[in-house]
Amino acid sequence: MAISVKVKLNAILKEYSPVKGQSAFQLSLAESSRIEDVIRELKLPRHQVGLAAVNLKYTELSYTLRDGDEVILFPQLTGGWTA
């Protein structure tokens, strides 16, 4: 059985969207899929994914998704101000 989740890719991750020019889209996955599976399915470089949220709550990449969940992926944050 499959589940359907809404995925939103932020910043540089948008270039991996399967829907040209759109950062948000529906994705069909196998039941018991995790956020890690979304990353693999979209062929996102794992080192570029820094944070994930499901239904607006930050979570681990091992989180098991349910039908109708909304997944938001953020890039790895680097840099910052130095004195």
CATH number, domain of 50, equals 3.10.20.30
**pLDDT in the model for residue 78:** 67
**pLDDT in the model for residue 1:** 86
Dump pLDDT digits (tens) for 35-71: 999 999 999 999 999 999 999 999 999 999 999 999 9
The pair phi, psi for residue 53, each rounded to 5°, is -130, 145
Question: Which uninterrupted H or E stretch holds 38?
Answer: helix 35-41
Residue 81 belongs to some domain of the structure: no
Q: Is pLDDT of 79 > 70?
A: no
- Going by the DSSP 8-state scheme, the letter that residue 19 receives in this structure is S
pTM of the predicted structure, to 2 decimals? 0.89
**pLDDT in the model for residue 25:** 98
Total of domains in the chain: 1
Other C-beta atoms lying within 10 Å of the C-beta of residue 65: 23
**pLDDT in the model for residue 77:** 78
Residue 83 belongs to some domain of the structure: no
* Domain, as residue range, for 59: 2-75
**pLDDT in the model for residue 80:** 54
The pair phi, psi for residue 33, each rounded to 5°, is -70, 155
AA identity, residue 28: S
